[in-house]
Amino acid sequence: MKDKPDDLLAALEGRRWQSGAEVARRLGVSRAAVWKRIERLRSQGYGIEAVAGRGYRLVRDSDLLLPDAIRKHLRAKLLRGEIVHRTTIDSTNRLAAEQARGGAVEGTIVVAEQQTAGRGRLGRTWVSPASVNLYMSVVLRPRIPPLEVPRLTLVAGLAVAEAIRDSGTFQPRIKWPNDVLLDGRKVAGILTELEAEADRVRFVIVGIGVNLNATRTDFPPDLKTKATSLLLAGGAPVDRAAFTGRLLTRLDAAYAAFLSGGFAALRHRYEELHGLVGLAVTIDGTPPLAGTVRGVDDGGALLVESGGALQRVVSGEVTLRQAYRKLRRGPV
Amino acid sequence: MKDKPDDLLAALEGRRWQSGAEVARRLGVSRAAVWKRIERLRSQGYGIEAVAGRGYRLVRDSDLLLPDAIRKHLRAKLLRGEIVHRTTIDSTNRLAAEQARGGAVEGTIVVAEQQTAGRGRLGRTWVSPASVNLYMSVVLRPRIPPLEVPRLTLVAGLAVAEAIRDSGTFQPRIKWPNDVLLDGRKVAGILTELEAEADRVRFVIVGIGVNLNATRTDFPPDLKTKATSLLLAGGAPVDRAAFTGRLLTRLDAAYAAFLSGGFAALRHRYEELHGLVGLAVTIDGTPPLAGTVRGVDDGGALLVESGGALQRVVSGEVTLRQAYRKLRRGPV
């Protein structure tokens, strides 16, 4: 079978819904072959919706996360390493760590169109459909002890929230420590990993996943009500490479501020975007801690008021004790 | 050229010094060929001294660190993973980390006869001549945050010092955090490395190097006065596999105590073998800290009295402010 993606693109050009049977007939190939070509176009960055009963619809031309396209929007002092682009990869964090072990400099960046084994925190997976979102990992080599590394998750979360805010009329909210929400739904996550001697960091990998142009059909059923994307929340597709450049510019500035002034230098900006303040939460642990979030301290710990006392939480899973709706409607 | 190591062994059997020329003549090969075969025998565990002007001398039969030989001396509850043996490897820590990334269970052990790129703390090298010492790395998967990982260096140092004390009339001394000394000279070192999410350890590699049967000629010139071995300090060669089994038995017990009671459960045993107590030291840093060591606390921090106040030191390089002689002659 010859590969003629251009025929297929031409067939979809009207950007209307077209049934798979109709497209197959026009191209003279099977419906399975159409599906295979749709998948290939998606892997090349084309945004194509597929809905049972309606067919296919082209919603966006290709916007691969190519290094040159990213650099056009990137102003950085520290994050000036190579940008490594992969069409598909098991995990950008895994490849970035491999590169760092091989000597990759601080600021080396790995981006991928798709992850086949995208990782989330605590061993969870990160749903990573092709060519609609951002999957990126950044190699950092800060001279800090391992115990300060969790603060880099907050630094990255701040940069992501700021980049989203820069992208339109969004009101992103950070859910300490590592998620960014839009309308109470997860739009981005951070996975920070490190390799270290016992008391000296060798390198840190900050992995960032942002749902940009994902549609409802890109999420598995159990995430449909919990996840969102900039497209879903804002109604318009985002230029992924431009967003990536802006995000890296924000991350570069936040990281530089952290290196010179610690998290304290960023705390005020973080609090502006922090979504948990004033909410009733439970932190897992033995025993679990229930209380009301009052903010974060200069070390990045979550401050939880419980039984009249203020507790510092340095790590843990936060569960909201009311519906996400409250978070969604919280004050800006 | 046929490989006849047995001929060479037979030639060395009297265990007297024999010149390279004489051995070459008896075997009917070149002196270079004799040297090559000597190297091969050493790689198989034979202890052969080589001194310019005197020639070669067999000092010890082969005692490779073979898994079965180690297991004969190993009583463990936790460290019961596979024992991986390599004749030569770049770094046992490197291989152990690779195995851990691939899913190796807690207690997986890598031992090698020789390291070609043995690593020490702070990016230094660890001199690793073939088949005379112990180079070992243990995969651990403790459920602790990264900030507690430095304590595992102390746990391992304690186990090493205890295993050395068990091996004869030695009086080993721990130099916080990661060295073990005999007669004021370094006999063992620990390199603890970790891979982690920001606030959750994925695995820890505890690398342990112990100079067992190394002779003066095995050390490079700059280490001759700073390093020693059990052979040099005790006058008799050590059964390396038996030592390894005993060391792992000690490590297993100390690690179990740490997991259930924290470093506090081991502090008293550590203090018994700690060599720095009462000594004047300088700790690197900005500014450096000068004072007198008073011990370690329940978290494994070094307690340094300076200007009338007690400082907790959680990491850093300790420099003694007097000759090692004092440490060597310190009270038991």
Tens of pLDDT along chain B (332 residues) come to 444 446 888 888 777 899 999 999 999 999 999 999 998 888 777 789 999 889 999 887 767 898 988 998 999 999 999 999 998 999 999 999 999 999 999 999 999 999 999 988 877 889 888 879 999 999 999 999 898 999 999 999 999 999 999 998 899 999 999 999 999 999 999 999 999 998 889 999 999 999 999 999 898 888 888 999 999 999 999 999 999 999 999 999 999 999 999 999 999 999 999 999 999 999 987 789 999 999 999 999 999 999 999 999 988 889 988 765 555 444 43
Active site residues per annotation of A: 121, 186, 321
In contact, B79 and B252? CB cutoff 8 Å: yes
CB contact (8 A) between residue B197 and residue A122: yes
Residue A68: per-residue pLDDT: 87
Chain A residue closest to B317 (CA)?
A199
Mark whether B94 is an active-site residue: no
Question: Which of B87, B238, B77, B256 lies closest to B163, judged by CA?
Answer: B238
DSSP letter string over A198-267?
Answer: TTEEEEEEEEEEE--S--GGGS-GGGTTTB--HHHHHSS---HHHHHHHHHHHHHHHHHHHHHH-GGGTH
Q: Mutation test of the interface with chain A: which of B199, B201, B318, choosing the one with the most A Cβ atoms within 10 A?
A: B199
CB contact (8 A) between residue A195 and residue B194: yes
CA B234 to chain A, closest CA, distance in angstroms equals 32
- Paired residues of A237 in beta bridges: none
Cis link prior to A287 (omega < 30° from 0)?
yes
Q: Assess B145–A contact: CB distance below 8 Å, yes or no.
A: yes
Chain A residue closest to B152 (CA)?
A198
CA A269 to chain B, closest CA, distance in angstroms equals 21
Q: Which residues of B fall within a CB distance of 8 Å from A201?
A: none
Residue B42: per-residue pLDDT: 83
Token pair recorded at residue B20: 């390279």
CB contact (8 A) between residue A147 and residue B152: no
Question: Which of A176, A173, A180 lies closest to A302, judged by CA?
Answer: A176
Q: Assess A147–B contact: CB distance below 8 Å, yes or no.
A: yes
Domains belonging to chain A, first-starting first, are 5-60 (1.10.10.10), 67-271 (3.30.930.10), 274-328 (2.30.30.100)
- For residues A125 and B212, the model is more confident at B212
Of A1-15, A68-82, A245-259, B96-110, the least confident:
A1-15
Residues in chain B: 332
Chain A residue closest to B151 (CA)?
A198
Cβ–Cβ pairs < 8 A, chains A and B: 73
In contact, B289 and B304? CB cutoff 8 Å: yes
Nearest CB to A152 within list B146, B192, B198: B198
In contact, A175 and A324? CB cutoff 8 Å: no
DSSP letter string over A18-58?
Answer: B-HHHHHHHHTS-HHHHHHHHHHHHHTT-EEEEETTTEEEE
**Coil, helix or strand for B137?**
strand
Chain B residue closest to A204 (CA)?
B198
CA A263 to chain B, closest CA, distance in angstroms equals 15
CB contact (8 A) between residue A153 and residue B200: no
Q: Mutation test of the interface with chain A: which of B93, B143, B147, B149, choosing the one with the most A Cβ atoms within 10 A?
A: B147
Nearest CB to B146 within list A121, A146, A153: A146
Residue B327: per-residue pLDDT: 55
Residues in chain A: 332
Report how far Cα A149 is from the mean position of its chain's Cα atoms: 19
Nearest CB to A150 within list B193, B199, B315: B199
What mean pLDDT value characterizes chain A?
A: 90
In contact, B84 and B70? CB cutoff 8 Å: no
Token pair recorded at residue B114: 């020789």
CB contact (8 A) between residue B153 and residue A198: yes
In contact, A198 and A147? CB cutoff 8 Å: no
**Whole-angstrom Cα distance, residue A32 to residue A20?**
9
In contact, A300 and A277? CB cutoff 8 Å: no
**Whole-angstrom Cα distance, residue A224 to residue B257?**
46
Mark whether B121 is an active-site residue: yes
Q: pTM (2 decimals)?
A: 0.78
Average pLDDT value for residue range A91-112:
97
